[in-house]
Amino acid sequence: MLKFSKQAQCGRRLALHRLYSSVPATSRVQLVGELRKLSNAPIIKARQALDESNGDFDAAVRWLEEDMRKSGAAKAEKVKGRATSEGLISISVLEGGMGSRIGSGSGLVRASIIELNCESDFVSRTDEFACLANEISGIVARSQTQQHGSFSPFTSLSVENLLQLSHKTSTVGSLITDLIARIGENISLRRAMLLTSPSNSNSAYRVASYLHQGRVGALDLISLRPSQSSLFKDDTFIGDLEKLERGLAKQTAGFMTLGINEKRDPEDELETVLYEQPFMMLGGENASVTVGKVLDQWQEKWSLKEFVVSDFTRWEVGKD
């Protein structure tokens, strides 16, 4: 009997795929079982697929894929007006910046953050929905889609355009429709943002990211200038830097952080400025010291010419 790993079932694509060219001759009961395992199709649909394909397993897979596409489109049309107030934030980092262990470490920065919504909290906590959110954030991070004329490293992307992005033999929109067909709930891609390397800068950049239970996500862009580039090959420095970056990303996500040095809305009592917050997410002896002071101390410790949080974004499910 064929075996499909959890990764294969989650998939590089969340629709039904052909992962083989043929299967050994076996009983009809076993073939139905394999079709159900691969596609999550009801037993009646699996039997119908074999009947329509004269017992040819590969043809039955193709029949199920086409049936899923048609039924998915019909279900998506039926539920498209229903509210999607639950969901997940997903982050994908492909290039973590200078000296990073994520990607090439060459100094390139490339990451994405997306919000995928559904109707119920129950669906938002399923593996299938989490797989879809992770898949889409990865597609966005790998995409070449950017808005021309934007000088910000963070670029908000058009959801309409993203839904048309090709992915293997499908599109992002089709991936969403396929899952709608299986779960019967409305699903929508609410927003997406791409983080790329700033241009025309003498600084080195790195990415810090943090997700809290899929409900809150933060991406921080760190700008630094060491006195000598060899510092990025120092394992002690990189380890210390990674600890600080994790603390910064958790701090950004954990507090109502909307500004780095100054508030966006001076009258909002709930809004806090990152550099003025006690660095609680770093912990230890620095938990009561402000973020700004800790960064100044860290810059001095490693004799850096610059160490700042250059930019960041913080997203929470259902909130702007």
Instruction: State yes or no: pLDDT of 145 exceeds 80.
Output: no
* pLDDT recorded at residue 16: 46
Segment 71-125, tens digit of pLDDT: 777 777 788 889 899 999 999 999 999 999 999 999 999 999 999 999 999 999 9
Q: Give the range of the structural domain holding residue 67, as residue numbers without chain letter.
A: 6-79
The domain spanning residue 71 has which CATH number?
1.10.8.10
- DSSP letters of 25-38? ---HHHHHHHHHHH
90 with 166, same domain?
yes
Q: What's the structural domain count of the chain? A: 2
Q: Among the three residues 51, 79, 107, which one is the final residue of a domain in this structure? A: 79
38, part of any domain? yes
Q: 3-class SS at 298?
A: helix
Segment 175-220, tens digit of pLDDT: 998 888 888 899 999 999 999 988 767 899 999 999 999 999 999 9
124 with 258, same domain?
yes
What does pLDDT average to over the chain? Answer: 86
260, part of any domain? yes
**What gap in Å lies between CA 24 and CA 26, rounded to an integer?**
6
Instruction: State yes or no: pLDDT of 166 exceeds 60.
Output: yes
162 with 64, same domain?
no
1, part of any domain? no
Report the predicted TM-score, pTM, of the whole model to 2 decimal places.
0.81
307, part of any domain? yes
**Burial state string for 8-30 with b = 16 or more CB within 10 A and e = fewer than 16:** eebbebbbbbeeeeeeeeeeeee
91 with 70, same domain?
no
95, part of any domain? yes
Using alpha carbons, list the distances in angstroms from residue 102 to 243, 258, 287, 313.
15, 27, 28, 20
148 with 236, same domain?
yes
Q: Among the three residues 29, 45, 79, which one is the final residue of a domain in this structure? A: 79
72 with 92, same domain?
no
Q: Among residues 124, 129, 156, which one has the least CA distance to residue 140?
A: 156
**What gap in Å lies between CA 232 and CA 108, rounded to an integer?**
14
Segment 256-288, tens digit of pLDDT: 888 998 887 888 877 789 999 999 999 888 899
Using alpha carbons, list the distances in angstroms from residue 239 to 225, 236, 251, 287.
17, 5, 18, 19
Across the chain, the runs of DSSP E, i.e. the strands, are: 86-98, 106-118, 154-156, 166-167, 170-171, 187-196, 204-212, 216-226, 257-259, 272-273, 304-316
* pLDDT recorded at residue 258: 86
Segment 289-300, tens digit of pLDDT: 999 999 999 999
167 with 143, same domain?
yes
21 with 124, same domain?
no
Q: Could you tell me how far CA 68 lies from the centroid of its own chain?
A: 25
249 with 131, same domain?
yes
* pLDDT recorded at residue 151: 59
72 with 97, same domain?
no
Beta-strand relationship, 304-316 and 216-226: antiparallel
Using alpha carbons, list the distances in angstroms from residue 91 to 157, 192, 197.
15, 10, 17
Q: Among the three residues 79, 98, 118, which one is the final residue of a domain in this structure? A: 79
Task: Compare 248 and 22 and report the one with higher pLDDT.
Answer: 248
223, part of any domain? yes
**128 with 182: CB under 8 angstroms?**
yes
- Per-residue pLDDT band at 10 (split at 50, 70, 90): low
Task: Compare 164 and 145 and report the one with higher pLDDT.
Answer: 164
**260 with 271: CB under 8 angstroms?**
no
Instruction: State yes or no: pLDDT of 24 exceeds 70.
Output: no
71 with 96, same domain?
no
The domain spanning residue 287 has which CATH number?
3.30.479.20
33 with 10, same domain?
yes
The percent of the chain in helix, strand and coil, each rounded to the nearest 5, is: 40, 25, 35
